[in-house]
């Protein structure tokens, strides 16, 4: 498998500008629960939905840019998904997230300092 890494820009980060993968998955799951309740109230249940399917086989802390992530979740909540089944709704939400949201993933070393300037790199598996 070929992985392409391209460094795009330097970005200043601080403690409040990131959301951890764990917190992001909780928020994403709550958004899915809300949308499922809206369209299929009898089938709504809370389940922790993963955001990452790729195992990088490294022990790193994965974070997202908080403002981009929250904007994505807000757009999912405001969108009208034409779905006939709960599974189709989940699929459409996932496609929306993957294609229309600009989620910047930031991978930090364990116990790294989250202040200062980092060179942001995009990983394209």
Whether residue 55 lies inside any domain: the answer is no
Whether residue 54 lies inside any domain: the answer is no
CA 124 to CA 8: how far, in whole Å? Answer: 13
The pLDDT assigned to 110 comes to 59
Whether residue 120 lies inside any domain: the answer is yes
User: Is the pLDDT reported for residue 3 higher than 80?
Assistant: no
Whole-structure pTM value: 0.76
Contacts with 110 (C-beta within 8 Å, 6 or more apart), sequence order = 59, 60, 61
> At 1, is the pLDDT very low, low, confident or very high (cuts 50, 70, 90)?
very low
Domain range holding 41? 4-49+60-124
Q: Name residue 97's beta-bridge partners.
A: none
Place of tokens 């300037």: 117
Whether residue 38 lies inside any domain: the answer is yes
């Amino acid at each position: 498998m070929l992985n392409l890494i391209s460094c795009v820009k330097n970005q200043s980060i601080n403690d409040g500008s990131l959301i951890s993968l764990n917190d992001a998955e909780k928020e994403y799951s709550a958004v899915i629960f809300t949308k499922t309740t809206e369209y299929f109230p009898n089938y709504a249940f809370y389940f922790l939905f993963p955001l990452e399917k790729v195992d990088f086989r490294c022990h790193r802390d994965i974070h997202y840019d908080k403002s981009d992530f929250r904007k994505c979740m807000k757009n999912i909540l405001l969108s009208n998904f034409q779905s006939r089944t709960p599974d189709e709704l989940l699929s459409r939400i996932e496609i929306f997230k993957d294609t229309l949201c600009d989620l910047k993933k930031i991978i930090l070393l364990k116990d790294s300092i989250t202040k200062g300037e980092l060179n942001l790199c995009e990983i394209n598996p």
